[in-house]
Amino acid sequence: MTRKKFLAGNWKMQKTRAEASEFFQLFTKILGDLKNVTRVVDVAFGVPATLFDACSTNTAGSGVKILAQNVHFEKQGAFTGELSTGMLADAGLAGSIIGHSERRQYFAENDEAVGKKWNALALRGLLPVVCVGETKAEREQGKTNDVVTKQFEASFAHVSVEARANEFIVAYEPVWAIGTGLTATPEQAEDVHKMIRGLIDKHFGKERAESTRVLYGGSMNALNCAELLQKPNIDGGLIGGASLKPEDFSKMVQAALVAK
């Protein structure tokens, strides 16, 4: 099965509304009609809540997906500073990144919370982009597969049968390669992606394993993107720093357009 490539920029805590508008003006100028692009490659941006409206307006009708960077699993309530899936849907968003290593490291987000967020997004018809990945110490100790398996399965345990029927994406992001300039070799990344696809097969069956996209999220950039995307189990990228410049991200989208 040929899976449609998926490139998602993660802007983290970056950009004002004016800067976002300027980004999309140049991004569109470089790539041309984005509707033609998104017919072949899914393009998404995980943006701060202050940019939901500006990004949605600047990409209206293009097929570009706007994602949140986090969400709460409760429908509403006394959770100051949080956003619900209903709020994301009301803002016109396509889904949310969940379980990013920075959320785990700085905000004590655990696998149970990630699973509950996955469940809430899926039940709302929004796309969960579920992040998993090991630290440098865990990689050096040979624990990569154990860590990623635990993260996936401990989150999956909190996803209802109904929610499991809906689409999700897994993003493998080795923590040691995020923002460090270090990147897993295409072979290292492919090995973990293949293992993750095996986990999906175990819990969802072969057909879902073949159709579910697994993204690489460790310092993918315009120089290494094409080589990574040639690997059979790497279906795209969750891209941080390289997604902030329209020139760089456009090159990555162009690489995805020709990837086999």
Q: Is the pLDDT of residue 52 over 90?
A: yes
Least confident range of 117-121, 141-145, 184-188: 184-188
What residues have CB less than 8 Å from 172, skipping those under 6 apart?
132, 133, 148, 189, 192, 193, 196, 214, 215, 216, 217, 218
Cα dihedral value 172, 36, 48, 221, nearest 10: 40
In degrees, rounded to 5, the angle at the alpha carbon of residue 250 between the alpha carbons of residues 246 and 252 is: 125
| pLDDT above 90 coverage of the chain, percent | 92
Q: Beta strands of 83-235 (E only): which ranges? A: 95-98, 127-132, 169-172, 214-216
pLDDT value of residue 147: 97
Kindly report, residue by residue over 129-175, the tens digit of the pLDDT: 999 999 989 999 999 999 999 999 999 999 999 999 999 999 999 98
pLDDT value of residue 219: 83
**Which domains are delineated in the chain?**
6-258 (3.20.20.70)
Q: Which residue of the set 100, 102, 109, 158 is catalytic?
A: 100
Structure tokens at 110: 């655990």
Mean pLDDT of the chain: 96
Residue 218's pLDDT band (boundaries 50, 70, 90)?
confident
Q: Which residue of the set 102, 173, 190, 193 is catalytic?
A: 173
What residues have CB less than 8 Å from 1, skipping those under 6 apart?
210, 211
Residue type, 125: G
The reported pTM is 0.96
CA dihedral for 129, 100, 230, 63, sign (positive or negative): positive
pLDDT value of residue 183: 76
Active site (annotated) includes residue 207: no
Q: What is the mean pLDDT of residues 79-83?
A: 98
Active site (annotated) includes residue 173: yes
